[in-house]
Amino acid sequence: MSSNLFENPEGSRSNTPSISDTNKEIHRDEDDMEIDALAGASDIELSSDESDYATREPFFLGSDSDDEWVEDDADEDYDFLDAVREAGNFRSRKPKKSAKSSFLKRSMRRTKNDDPEIHHLLALGNKAFVDKDWEGSLEIFREVIRKDNKNFAAYKTSGEIYRELGMLNECCNYWFLAATMNSADGEFWGTVGHLSAELGHTEQAIECYTRAIGASNNKDMKAILARAKLYKEQKRWGRALEGFQKVHLANPTNTKIIKELASIYVEQKRVNDAIKLYMDILDQNINPDAANKHATPKFTWSELNILSELCATSHSYRLGIKVLKLSSRWIQGRLEETWWDEVDDDSEFDARRFLGMDKRPYSEQLAAKEKPYEIPIDIRFKLGTLRLGLGDKDEALRHFEFLKTEENVLDLYWEAGVLLESNGYYEDALTYLVKYEEEESEGEMENEAQLISLLGKCYQEVGEYQKAAAAYEIIIHSMPDDIDTKLALAEVLYHIGEIEASQQLLKEVANQAKKSGEVIEGEEKTQNEGATQGDNAIIQNHIIQRARKTKLSDEEKIELENNAKRKVLEKYHRMQRLEAAIIKGDSVAITAWIQLASQLVEMFMSVRSFFPRDKNRIFKGIVFYRRKKQMGIDEKMARIYNLHEGINTDDSQARSVLTSKKDYRGLDYNIWFTIFVQYALSLAKFEGNLEYAVQITDVATDVSVFVQDKNKEMILKMLRLMFGIAQKDVNATVMTYVRFFLSANQFSPFIYKFFMCCFSSGIEAWETFSNYNHQKFFLRQLKAFDSILTYQKHITGMATLTADVKSIKTKREHAELLYVYANLLGGSRSYVSSIVYLNRAYKHYNRDPMICLVLGLAHVHRSMQRLSSNRHIQLLQGVSYILEYTKHRSLDASPYELQEINYNLGRLFHMLGLTTLAVNSYNKVFALHDSIEDEDFNLSMEAAYNLSLIYNINGNSNLARDITEKYLVV
């Protein structure tokens, strides 16, 4: 969110820290800690500025001053009355020995040394120190330490020498040892802690501050605050919060401590607690009578700025607007203007204010004109941000327009551009991003790479491809491994006509994604266990092991989801722009579209809620959690893209239920279904990857929101059947899925014709077509139709009636059903049964050429069987039916149909041994050769092969060779 979270709109905007700032920097200056205020509020005597290690005078301990620094607290317990009692021979009160005094005395007894030699060495060391003979002094004090390793003065003064030499690490270590010799000196512990923190010895600094706090009996607020900031630096939020809360209780009016508390709450994902913290302050300011006994900090524009930002962070946009309006009125002294709550816009803060008060009483209008209504630019920007969060673009842009009238608000220009771009308002975002770029071009921009990336996206979305390409090229120059930018540049280059460059980029992206996929599959994360700044300290810093998975707050989940939604919509719009070029067959556009679709499909497949065990269960929302599955190279590539963009949902952290039942991440489920289907078709048609296309189709078949729609389910099964035919998997896939369409569309003439088209030529297709299961199925269907056509009653062995037959009133046979069943019988050489059913069809459809042809062939084949009773009559009957076929087929026939007729006649005569008639028919096929434009339907090759066999058998090899060279040689 905004980087100016804790800014004071009325003061200097650049000097006001934010929550993010407090996470990066630890301020230990006494001005920031306001120690004087703390001491005054808590009645605790805090150390003065003399505690700073750089300003303290060196401490010397000579032979005659060993006990000068020891306090005897017991003497303070005696007073004048005790002396009188003792003089009067009365029993006097026994002095109570304090724990602090006893501890201090015991500590001194451990360090006290009456050895004259030690005293003499200390005196020599002190003299050398005064003379600035650092090496000599150090040597003397080392000798003291060798003789008395608990001598406080030796350690303390040695530290002072190292400080003078600029060797602060050694100084810190000696002082730490000195402090351990005198544990009761909390002030000195604080000094050592301050120096340790400055040197980066965080763990040691925390230990020193802890000792200082203990020595002061938990009353040293300066040490508590410093330690809390160090805990915050280490991201130990619980301990940091405890320290800041203690300091806050000591001085509840310190706004800087309140900011620290709010920042800790935000880091702990307790944004609501941070909001409540400031809401309580606001309530105590507005209603001082209801305030508690403690002093209350003043609620100003700065606090309102923070509170508004917290509301925006938690996506409490309506609450934020309500609180902002109420607080602004209170600060401006117009709390009584409650009528503005009934207005849906923010007109009370601009020139529209006076138009909206026309209906108010004149006295109220007069009073309102004398009161201020303008709000600081930071507060206005926050109001625009909250409005944008509610989707009120017009009102948000009205607030952002005020930035153009202000100076030194470039950071707000940046934030406005980022917000508008993230919400999809690219043209409006360009206004502020371009302004920011123009103003910051003279100096160095910290977010230059992000700015160029945003400009590239916005230019691409508004169609300014030349500018978008220039922006993307700058990014790739500095970040050559940025996959998504390369994809975007490839698309932009295509739009501006640089096809070859676009193709080259797509190849680079594919190779890079493959390599990245191999790395990620075997990658193991390792932690850096190298040296840290704290290695030179007595208490070294250690790496705090954090849990790899932290629970996301609701606000973070929403933020991640919004980011993913924005990226999904971006990709979908890019796919839409490529559709026109795909229709024209442009290979670059097709490749780019497939790569974009692969990312969306991979992301959709990672949502487990779309794949329930029970497909009939009504879809109630989306729950994210990990879905383990084997991935192909295309899926790995798509996963890499998503990981680079942060929209991968395969994460157990993101467990949340989304309530939308109509769309997912901005796209309707109908659109998602279209993407799946088009992606599968594109893989099969343009890349020839039928296997992966089948996998995508099978995945889509398992998606609950797809299969619960019967139309979508039908399309997916049709797609699967189509891929099965292309793979020539007739025995399993084709047979399975064609049966589904037959069952779902009972008695449909179109489906029966479709069934016949699903089996291509070949022995395997023929065996599958004439399978006994098919014969049994169609017989049951035929009996079911007979039950409603003739008998009007149930027939044993009939299929269940699933079609709506109540409105059917017909006395005609079902020609397509009879035709299919007769062909199935004919395929298994049951010609007699086939003739029976074909005669039923011929009775009502005797002008149908196909029924005549198949009926004639059934008679001809039956005449050739051994058990035929009258072969010649049956053959004559078959030929007569075939001649009827010729007659009916010839009516308004095209060259294709005429060639078919002649080839069938030639094949018939050839089969019967009437080669002269066959040769005549085959020659008629050749005569139509030049009239056939589609070679897939040209029967000249088949006729030439059959005719060459006739010539060779009859000994005319020359004619056979001529026919072969003319029609059969490529």
Give yes or no for residue 216 having a pLDDT over 50.
yes
**Selection from 235, 232, 180, 168 nearest residue 207 by Cα:** 180
pLDDT of residue 969: 85
**Selection from 563, 597, 595 nearest residue 665 by Cα:** 563
Contacts of 266 by beta carbon, 8 Å cutoff, 6+ apart: 19, 274, 310, 313
**Selection from 185, 225, 184 nearest residue 205 by Cα:** 225
Domain end residue (candidates: 219, 240, 274): 219
Token pair listed for 260: 């620290």
Cα separations (Å) of 945 from 900, 923, 950? 16, 12, 9
Q: For residue range 920-945, what is the model confidence (pLDDT) as tens digits?
A: 999 999 999 888 888 888 899 999 99
Q: List the CATH number of the domain containing 128.
A: 1.25.40.10
pLDDT of residue 502: 80
Domain end residue (candidates: 707, 727, 747): 727
Rounded mean pLDDT of 688-702?
83
Residue 898 in 3-state DSSP? helix
**Residue 347 within a domain:** no
Distance CA(422)–CA(206), nearest Å, equals: 42
Between 528 and 442, the higher pLDDT residue: 442
Which value, to the nearest 10 degrees, does the dihedral of the CA atoms of residues 762, 767, 770, 774 take?
A: -120
Domain end residue (candidates: 169, 200, 219): 219
Residue 444 in 3-state DSSP? coil
Rg, Å, the chain Cα set: 46
Number of H helices, E strands in the chain: 45, 4
pLDDT of residue 325: 87
User: Is 190 within 8 Å of 222 (Cβ atoms)?
Assistant: yes
Rounded mean pLDDT of 230-248?
90
Amino acid occupying residue 168: L
Q: For residue range 866-885, what is the model confidence (pLDDT) as tens digits?
A: 777 788 888 898 899 999 99
Query: Counting beta carbons within 10 angstroms of the beta carbon of residue 56, is it exposed (0 to 12), middle (13 to 18) or buried (19 or more)?
Result: middle
**Residue 293 within a domain:** no
User: Is 655 within 8 Å of 626 (Cβ atoms)?
Assistant: no
> C-alpha angle 147/153/154, rounded to 5°?
45
Rounded mean pLDDT of 280-309?
82
Distance CA(125)–CA(154), nearest Å, equals: 9
**Residue 653 within a domain:** yes
Token pair listed for 249: 């209780």
Distance CA(70)–CA(61), nearest Å, equals: 12
- Three-state SS annotation for 850-885: HHHHHHHHHHHHHHCCCCCCCHHHHHHHHHHHHHHH
pLDDT of residue 659: 46
Rounded mean pLDDT of 736-759?
80
Q: How many domains does the chain have?
A: 2
Token pair listed for 702: 């398992």
Between 247 and 45, the higher pLDDT residue: 247
Give yes or no for residue 646 having a pLDDT over 60.
no
pLDDT of residue 898: 92
pLDDT of residue 880: 92
pLDDT of residue 720: 86
Q: For residue range 524-573, what is the model confidence (pLDDT) as tens digits?
A: 344 444 444 445 677 777 655 554 445 666 767 777 777 788 888 888 88
User: Is 140 within 8 Å of 120 (Cβ atoms)?
Assistant: no
b (16+ CB within 10 A) / e for 923-953: ebbbebbeebeeeeebbbeebbebbbebbee
pLDDT of residue 949: 93
User: Is 157 within 8 Å of 141 (Cβ atoms)?
Assistant: yes
**Residue 56 within a domain:** yes
Distance CA(199)–CA(560), nearest Å, equals: 38
pLDDT of residue 655: 42
Residue 109 in 3-state DSSP? helix
**Residue 889 within a domain:** no
**Residue 703 within a domain:** yes
Token pair listed for 254: 């310190």
Token pair listed for 515: 């390599």
pLDDT of residue 745: 80
Looking only at Cα atoms, what is the longest distance across the chain?
A: 162
pLDDT of residue 102: 45
Amino acid occupying residue 390: L
Q: For residue range 360-389, what is the model confidence (pLDDT) as tens digits?
A: 666 666 666 667 778 889 998 999 999 888
Rounded mean pLDDT of 165-191?
88
Token pair listed for 307: 């509170």
Give yes or no for residue 438 having a pLDDT over 60.
yes
DSSP tag of 269: T
DSSP tag of 727: T
DSSP tag of 625: -
Confidence grade of residue 229 (pLDDT, cut at 50, 70, 90): very high
**Residue 655 within a domain:** yes
Rounded mean pLDDT of 199-207?
89
For 267-281, 858-872, 873-887, which range has the lowest pLDDT when averaged over its residues? 858-872
Tokens 């395969």 locate to 650
Query: Counting beta carbons within 10 angstroms of the beta carbon of residue 757, is it exposed (0 to 12), middle (13 to 18) or buried (19 or more)?
Result: exposed
Q: Which helix (H) or strand (E) holds 389?
A: helix 377-389
Chain centroid to Cα 100, Å, comes to: 58
Cα separations (Å) of 494 from 79, 464, 575, 664, 705? 97, 13, 13, 29, 35
627: number of Cβ within 10 Å:
14
Supply the mean pLDDT for the chain: 76
Residue 428 in 3-state DSSP? helix
- N-to-C CA span, the chain: 71
Distance CA(90)–CA(519), nearest Å, equals: 91
Give yes or no for residue 254 having a pLDDT over 70.
yes
Tokens 């401006």 locate to 332
Cα separations (Å) of 827 from 552, 772, 774, 851, 867? 66, 10, 11, 15, 18
pTM of the model: 0.59
Tokens 């005696």 locate to 78
Domain that holds residue 144: 48-66+113-219
663 phi/psi in degrees, rounded to 5: -145, 165
Distance CA(487)–CA(512), nearest Å, equals: 12
Distance CA(484)–CA(457), nearest Å, equals: 11
**Selection from 206, 215, 327 nearest residue 278 by Cα:** 327
Between 738 and 309, the higher pLDDT residue: 309
For 180-194, 437-451, 482-496, 844-858, which range has the lowest pLDDT when averaged over its residues? 437-451
pLDDT of residue 641: 52
Give yes or no for residue 65 having a pLDDT over 60.
no
pLDDT of residue 910: 93
Give yes or no for residue 272 having a pLDDT over 50.
yes
**Residue 29 within a domain:** no
Q: Which helix (H) or strand (E) holds 564?
A: helix 554-583
